[in-house]
Each structure stands twice: as C-alpha cells, then as structure tokens.
Amino acid sequence: MLRKDKIASNQGKLGVLVVGLGAVSTTFIAGVMASRKGVAKPFGSLTQMARIRLGKRTDNRNPLIKDFVPLASLDDIEFLTWDIFPANAYEAAMKAGVLQKQDLDAIESDLKAIVPQKAVFESHYVKKLHGEHVKSGANKMELAEQLMEDIRKFKDAKKISRFVMIWLASTEVYVEKKPIHDSLAEFEKGLRESSVEITPSMIYAYAALKMGIPYINGAPNLSVDMGAMQTLADQNKVPIAGKDLKTGQTLMKTILAPGLKARMLGLDGWFSTNILGNRDGEVLDDPESFKTKEVSKLSVLETILQPESYPELYNDFYHKVRINYYPPRGDNKESWDNIDIFGWMGYQMQIKINFLCRDSILAAPVSLDLVLFADLAARAGMFGIQEWLSFYLKSPMAAPGLTPENDLFIQQVKLKNTLRYMMEEDLITHLGLEYYDMM
C-alpha cells in the first residue's frame, strides 16, 4: 500500500546527475544555487512555490506542496554533470547567454566548482556537434561502466545517500524502435557489441537503472521509452519518466487545445513556427535530429482532441511544426502559431499566438520538479513509468494500451490527486454540490 508512513525519509544528500551542461542545465543549476542563497526565486517550480487544496473549499487548507509531501530540500542537493566540452558551469552559463552576468556572478564560485566529467558521445547521433571531451572505451558496455564508476566516486566524495539522473543534453537523430530495444538481454548484448542502434542517451539510462537510480528523459530521444529499459526499471524497482520537457510552444498547445475541445470548437489547421538561435536551434537544423523532435511535438494534438471520437470536429485538421535556426535570437526562442478554428454552423475564426519565450527559463523549474518528484516516488516505493509526471512532459510515456494524456489540466489533476493519494487525503472532484442546499 502507498501509505504516507511508508515513504522513506527525505534526509541525507540527493545526488542530481545531469547529462549535458548547456543552456538548460546551467540555468537549472544556477537557479538552485541562487535560490539556496536567497538571491533569486525558483519561480515556475511547483515543488518550491505551489500550494495544494485539501478538503472542501471552505476548509481553507492550502499548504505549500513542499510542506505537504516530504521532498528533498534544495540545501541537500549535490550536482554531478557530464558534457562534451570541459568548461565549468560558470563558463558554460556565460556561453549559453541565458542568465545575465550579474546573476551568475552572485554564485560564481559555486558554479565554477561544477566541472563536467567526460561525456559518452558520438557525432553520428548529433550531427551538428563535435565534442572533444569524451570518454573512450572498448565497447558501449564499457562506457556504461565508466559512467557508473563516475557516480560511485561522486557518491563517496560527497557522501550522497540517493540519486536521480536527468538527461538535459541534445536531441539525438531519429531512431526506429527495433527488437534490440525490446529485450534486456538483447540490449546488453548490443552494448557489448557496440550496436549502432544504441545511442549515448541509452547508455546513460542503462547506467542509472542498473544502479537503481531514477532516470528522467528530458529530450525526445528513445532512451527509456523501450521494453529493455522498462524491464530493468521493474527489476530494480526504479521510477522512470519521459520524454521531452514540456516548454514553450508545446506547453501553450497543451493549454489551448484542451480549451478549444472543452468548448467543442472544431479545428481546420494549426501551423506552428519557431525561431531560435541557440545550440538547440543549431542541432535541430539537422533534419535527422529535427525528425525526433517533430514526432514529439506533433503527437500532442491528436491525443488531446481525439479525432476518433469527434470526427466532424477534428478528423481533418492540418498540423505543421517548423523550427528555424535564426541566430539573432540566441536562447530567446520565439514561436508563432496560427490556429484555424470553426464553431456554430461551421463559421471560421483564427487565433494567432506569438510567444517571446526563454526556453531554458521554462525548462529549469521543470527539471527541478521532475528530479524532486522522482526522488519522492522512489522513496514511496513507486517504480516504472510515472504517468503522474506527464504534466511536465511533451510526449509522456504511459502503460501499454493506454493513450498518453497530453491535456495539461488533466495532467495537473492527476499530479495533485496522486500527491493527495500518497498522503491519504480525499481526492478532489470539483463536484461541490455540498455548498448548495438545492433540492
């Protein structure tokens, strides 16, 4: 039983293993450090800022989530990172250009202490990048073991009691799911034989799960979205979550599409374009990496709108997503959506959304929440796919046979009711007839 008394203690150090030390990672790490020092606020994070309603509306019980469930404290976090460049977190953050110099200077020494380990990397899987700070080994299994060795050394050096790993590195080229991804035995054989079907992100995931460490897939890569990894997660009783952090345009889409559907407004087309000029934009300028991202971004409308249930409204909409590398913008991604809808008697309307966004600013709190909730899940004895964390993910994994849920608001209800369930509080249904004396 999931009972609150069975949740293991949140005391001791939490080792956060961050793959990639680019714009998102450095923004995430810097924000944790700045929040700890009290020089910035972790806006955007539910674990740090949000409240949860308990009981009836008139009970006025709305504690902070972090006072309601036993999360790890920011003060107990230690970071270990890997990257294909040797720059420390301060240097990497300056290069990323997301945070202003004055904000980084306030935590300069903390950031400089974060020096990445050599990465597992091959240009074959991310065509636009050429790393220099990479591991070498006889085969992919050996690379996995090197990662595990990095983690063990870190554990000893920092006296870590438990870990979470999160992938915040680049989008890999599109990989079709093959038999090798379905069976753990085949996969391990592939590791030993350095199969081309095994990408770096899978090697990291394998290392984590093998050590019983929860793994979060922040990119649209296959990673843990395959039978082999799920078998391993079940064997070792480890929570996993993915794929792809839900930020920017897709976040807006999963806010707006549920609204259109709630009102039974039909959809003729949804055209989404993006301009961005950071390393992410450069990577996605490669059609093979873009394909991976596109599949992730395109899926959300179908599952929200359910054309099979509403053929007259949603059967024939035209959905197109474009990502354009546009250097003048740096990390300040801008999206433009044009949405052609129709209502009563088929009359047409248009919605246009222009989002002057900062990708890493949206991704950082999502990273933090996923890490802290995955750690909570592990301590609560939950393992395998954590569907209740779909709220944070662009292309969430779900149990076999279930359609993933992309509606942000259903995801939110699911997340909050899961927390209430963990702590044995009543679930909220918003029925609310008890406030009225009406029959």
Residue ranges in 15-44 that form contacts with its own copies under rule CB under 8 A: 27, 30-31, 34, 40-44
Closest CA to 177 of 6, 295, 94: 295
Residues 326-345 close enough to bind its own copies by CB under 8 A: 326-329, 334, 336, 338, 340, 342-345
Q: What is the C-alpha end-to-end distance of the chain, expressed in Å? A: 39
* Among the listed residues 50, 81, 171, 200, the single contact to its own copies using CB under 8 A: 50
408: contact with its own copies by CB under 8 A = yes
* Shortest distance, position 387 Cβ to its own copies, whole Å: 6
Residues 249-288 close enough to bind its own copies by CB under 8 A: 251-252, 255-256, 258-259, 262-266, 268-269, 271, 273, 275
Q: What are phi and psi of 393, to 5 degrees?
A: -125, 140
Closest CA to 68 of 422, 381, 392, 359: 422
Q: Residues 26, 98: contact at Cβ < 8 Å? A: yes
Nearer to its own copies, 51 or 133 (CB): 51
333: region left, alpha or beta (phi > 0 left; psi from -120 to 50 alpha) = beta
Nearer to its own copies, 49 or 295 (CB): 49
Determine the 3-state secondary structure of 167 from DSSP: strand
435: contact with its own copies by CB under 8 A = yes
Q: How far apart are CA 22 and CA 64, in angstroms?
A: 31
* Among the listed residues 85, 154, 174, 310, the single contact to its own copies using CB under 8 A: 310
307: contact with its own copies by CB under 8 A = no
- The greatest distance separating any two alpha carbons of the chain, rounded to the nearest whole angstrom, comes to 76
* Among the listed residues 66, 358, 379, 394, the single contact to its own copies using CB under 8 A: 358
413: contact with its own copies by CB under 8 A = yes
58: contact with its own copies by CB under 8 A = yes
* Among the listed residues 151, 364, 378, 397, the single contact to its own copies using CB under 8 A: 364
* Among the listed residues 4, 37, 57, 178, the single contact to its own copies using CB under 8 A: 57
Interaction pattern, residues 82-121, with its own copies; x per rule: CB under 8 A: ----------------xx---x------------------
409: contact with its own copies by CB under 8 A = yes
Cβ neighbors of 60 (< 8 A, separation 6 or more) are none
* Shortest distance, position 283 Cβ to its own copies, whole Å: 17
* Shortest distance, position 285 Cβ to its own copies, whole Å: 11
198: contact with its own copies by CB under 8 A = no
Helix (H) or strand (E) holding 312: helix 311-314
Q: Residues 397, 387: contact at Cβ < 8 Å? A: yes
Nearer to its own copies, 9 or 58 (CB): 58
Segment contacting its own copies by CB under 8 A, of 87-95, 155-163, 182-190, 315-323 = 315-323
Nearer to its own copies, 20 or 42 (CB): 42
SS3 annotation, 226-283: CHHHHHHHHHHCCEEEECCECCHHHHHHHHHHHHHHHCCCEEEEEEEEEEECCHHHHH
11, 236, 323, 376, 380 from 8: Cα distances, Å: 9, 17, 44, 8, 6
Segment contacting its own copies by CB under 8 A, of 7-15, 122-130, 168-176, 346-354 = 346-354
Q: Is the dihedral of CA 418, 419, 425, 428 positive or negative?
A: negative
* Shortest distance, position 406 Cβ to its own copies, whole Å: 13
Nearer to its own copies, 197 or 288 (CB): 288
2: contact with its own copies by CB under 8 A = yes
Helix (H) or strand (E) holding 364: helix 359-379
357: contact with its own copies by CB under 8 A = yes
